[in-house]
Chain A
Amino acid sequence: MNLENNFIKHSKEYIFSDNKILSNQRESAFKKITQKNYDKKNNESLKNITINDLSKFDYFYKPIKEDPTVSLTDDLNYEIKLFNGICKHYEDDFIEIRNLTNLDFKTLLNQDNNNLDDIIIDFNKIFLNSGIFFNIKSEAKLNIRLTHETSDNFTIFQNNFINFKKRCKVKLEDNFNLTNNSINNINYNINVEEDATIKHNIFQNFANSNKLYLTSNTVCEKKSSYSQNTYNFSDGFVRNFHHVKLNGEFSNASLRGCFFLKDKNICSNKTNVKHNAENCISDQTYKGILNDHSKASYYSNTFVSENAQKTQGYQLSKGILLTDNCSFFSKPELRIFADDVKCSHGSTIGPVDESALYYLRSRGISKNDAMKMIISSFIQEDLQNLDKDIAERVSKNLSDYLTSLVND
């Protein structure tokens, strides 16, 4: 079904369909996308995405009976399940979680992503059908495990707001449990208040027929810390676009990611850090392994505004290409307007190191094992700083990936 039919036919089903201002916003976003001379070719947000995939889909969304849950394994560990973008309303001394309602339109109006020129975000605006509000209260120290479950053929356009209050310390884990043929366009607006420390781990491992467009916009206030790790083992299409604004002094952000691709997998990544205050540190590191006919892209961007002196910004992108048919594109950007800064970026793309391979093989290790060793060592350094359970999960997935790779 084409875009226009989807838009008209389901226009009453989206939330806020009765709100005039938001409806107008939708209309204008729709017009922007559909106008003929809109430059889609050079738009970074569409790298590795075919416009047909986006514009021709069957919009499908209805409430289903299965209930979302919030459960506590012990005092500190929360298990939260979202079904098709819907959560269970829950509140205790530490957290509050609820669904987006028609009364929240002001928050939506105020969200600050209009200048991104991101078509996926435009789609999210147009077809918005779910969203959650998530508050983590101040001083809370928690582990949260969030699972997104999407049923067959569902199209989810979700806009989430997460607010980490002052001095909280949270480990947030995002899991995607997607069945078949689903489209998930998920946008996070994350606010990290003063002195809060957030570790955000994202696991993506799902079947070929699903698509996930994950975008996050994070704002860090004074002395806060936000570190994100993304692990993409999925067969389906994944787009990871993560933006951080360092608005408070002495805040720091780290956006890291690993992707492991095979067959005809495609993945599109972008990280963007904007330094608006002094003495902030940022780190953007993405590593990828590509096999068969896979394709990946990585944009990274460090923006240092005029008053953000004493900034330190680092970027690194590393890609290993295992066959001649895969391709990797990277564009590490630095835009700097302040002079007292230390910023750097590095980028490498290449095959597995021949001499390392030779060294291992000359010691009697088979080629397959040698490859495995080299590839896992490529990722290993990132696993060292992770918590044990997460590191184990990554290693498990990695060894699955390596087995599939060697058996080809």
Chain B
Amino acid sequence: MDTRTSQTLDKYAQDKYKYGFITEIESDRPQKGLNEETIKFISKKKNEPEWMLTWRLNCYKKWLKMSDPQWANLKFPKIDYQDIYYYSAPKGFEEKPKDLSEVDPKLIETYNKLGIPLEEQKVLAGVAVDAVFDSVSVATTYKGELEKLGIVFCSISEAVHKHPELVKKYLGSVIPPGDHSFSALNSAVFTDGSFVYIPENVKCPMELSTYFRINAEDTGQFERTLIIADKGSYVSYLEGCTAPQRDTNQLHAANVELIALENAEIKYSTVQNWYPGDEEGKGGIYNFVTKRGLCKGKNSKISWTQVETGSALTWKYPSCILKGDNSIGEFYSVAITNNFQQADTGTKMTHIGKNTRSKIISKGISLGYSQNTYRGNVSFLKKADKARNYTQCDSLLVGNKCGAHTIPYIDSKNNSAIIEHEASTSKINEDQLYYCRQRGLSHEEAVSLIVNGFCKQVLQELPMEFAVEAQKLVSISLEGSVG
């Protein structure tokens, strides 16, 4: 598309409708609150088949009987589930900012620091771009390529229609809806999310990301992702992005299920930078995520990498169930909390098969008044012969108003299995700081450099383009609290 066309398009896109009549847009929101009607409404809006609705209603019934999990080291007011909208259709152009000048300048500043291209900035800020711009057209070409390989990459609502057999077989198979109240809630009211299926012996040639999926915006607060890697396949999936996202929904309860069959490998990377609330701890997103992967087949591998910097509350434990013999689970995490943020995050590795291996590297950094908790569970069941786990979790404290907590649960029922766990907590090394300052770095730069080094082990696990942005993100997250 040449520049002139895009300029013209921009111009028209920015113009208000001149001719003065307003089309009444049908309100696409159900009433506030959660009841069977809401679920029926969502299901109807998505034109879902009967079995899906029944499934949702069953989950809802389970949810009614459950209370919220209490184990996390988080303090927040009780969630009023009847005060939430459970469905919102994508916003019309009228409600969106017309161009970047209408977007919060603070947000733009951060985008620039992260080095995000202008066009992507528009998408991220939710600017109404009607014209097909580069990255979207790139997405369509990618889509064609994926189709050729037989890879299915679509929204979960589309998958319900097009691949009901796969959805029926795997949805809720890793995270049973009755697992805990957030999983039941999500199962009942999930609105959208991604569905990925990689056929046998296919290596997905690119990093799949919600970025490239058309209509990815407003996947909403109850996201549901299902990734199935068939025998011998490989996929790397990116979720979220480094850019701060302003979302009006306070409660997020996503469910992510991964299934790796024989010899398959799934790599799942997340960068989460949602609104953490202001400096006084007001507002911010409550992020209750359930992520679980099942290494179903022999020699399968699931690897989680996460960089958590946003959200007022993070409650997230990406886990692996290592069922297949020789399967591998990995977890790499960086969690940074600042101001009044609270994070309770970690992983759960359940070793069931023989020769299963898992590795956990977790880095927590707390600043300001924040609380950062690592909570991990490693268990070896009776048949997990020669299983192996290595866990390392390090915490860094900056300032004496914050807290860093490490709470591992280690359970072994097999005598040939070996578990090693080590953790340390300390502040930033004065010598290192002194060394950096001596070489002319400002205090803030020095801290950022040291913290980046502290996180390196995890950041290097991220796919290339993410890794660069994530490093910058780490520095940005430290801003304002150091010195």
Residues of A within 8 A of B (CB): 42, 306, 309, 319, 321-324, 326-351
Contacts and interface: CB of A to CB of B under 8 A. Distances in A.
B24 to A, nearest CB: 51
B408 A347 contact: yes
B410 A329 contact: yes
Contacts of A348: 418-421
Given A333-B406, A336-B404, A350-B419, A344 B425 contact: yes
Contact of B415 (A42, A324, A331, A335): A324
Contacts of A351: 415-418
Given A324-B414, A329-B409, A338-B400, A346 B382 contact: no
Interface in B402-451: 402-427
A339 B412 contact: no
19 contacts: A309-B400, A324-B414, A324-B415, A324-B416, A326-B415, A331-B407, A332-B410, A333-B406, A334-B404, A339-B397, A339-B398, A339-B399, A345-B422, A345-B423, A346-B422, A347-B419, A349-B412, A350-B415, A350-B418
Interface of B: 71, 382, 395, 397-427
Given A339-B398, A339-B399, A339-B400, A329 B422 contact: no
Contacts of A332: 406, 408, 410, 421, 423
Contacts of A349: 410, 412, 417-419
Q: Lowest 4 A-B CB distances belong to which pairs?
A: A321-B415, A350-B418, A339-B397, A347-B421
Contacts of A340: 400, 427
A334 B417 contact: no
Contact of A334 (B382, B399, B405, B415): B405
A337 B408 contact: no
A335 B403 contact: yes
B220 to A, nearest CB: 32
Given A324-B414, A342-B426, A337 B403 contact: yes
A343 B401 CA distance: 17
B405 A333 contact: yes
A331 B419 CA distance: 13
Task: Pick the most buried of B400, B410, B414, B415: most chain A CB atoms within 10 A of its CB.
Answer: B415
Contacts of A339: 397-400, 402, 427
Contacts of A329: 409-412
A336 B425 contact: yes
A112 B416 CA distance: 43
A334 B425 contact: yes
B295 to A, nearest CB: 22
B415 A345 contact: no
Contact of A347 (B71, B398, B410, B424): B410
Given A336-B395, A338-B400, A339-B397, A323 B421 contact: no
Contacts of A343: 424-426
Given A336-B395, A339-B402, 8 more contacts: A322-B415, A328-B411, A334-B407, A335-B403, A336-B397, A350-B415, A350-B417, A350-B418
B419 A344 contact: no
Contact of A331 (B410, B412, B414, B418): B410
Contacts of A338: 397, 400
Contacts of B421: 332, 345-348
A319 B415 CA distance: 10
A256 B413 CA distance: 24
A331 B405 CA distance: 13
Task: Pick the most buried of A329, A341, A349, A351: most chain B CB atoms within 10 A of its CB.
Answer: A349
A323 B407 CA distance: 27
Nearest to B379: A329
A143 B407 CA distance: 38
A304 to B, nearest CB: 8
B408 A331 contact: yes
B306 to A, nearest CB: 21
A336 B371 CA distance: 9
Nearest to A319: B412
B356 to A, nearest CB: 15
Contacts of B402: 337, 339
B416 A344 contact: no
A323 B409 contact: no
A324 B385 CA distance: 9
B416 A330 contact: no
A349 B418 CA distance: 6
B352 to A, nearest CB: 15
Given A333-B406, A342-B426, A347-B419, A327 B413 contact: yes
A324 B382 contact: yes
Contacts of A331: 407-410
A339 B408 CA distance: 21
B122 to A, nearest CB: 41
Contacts of A345: 406, 421-423
Contacts of B412: 319, 321, 327-329, 349-350
A151 B232 CA distance: 67
Nearest to B419: A349
A117 B407 CA distance: 18
A123 B450 CA distance: 51
Contacts of B415: 321-324, 326, 350-351
A334 B397 CA distance: 13
Contacts of A319: 412
A319 B414 CA distance: 12
A333 B404 CA distance: 11
Contacts of A324: 382, 413-416
A332 B406 CA distance: 8
Given A334-B425, A339-B400, A327 B418 contact: no
Nearest to B394: A344
Contacts of B71: 42
Contacts of B382: 324
Given A323-B415, A341-B425, A351-B418, A336 B410 contact: no
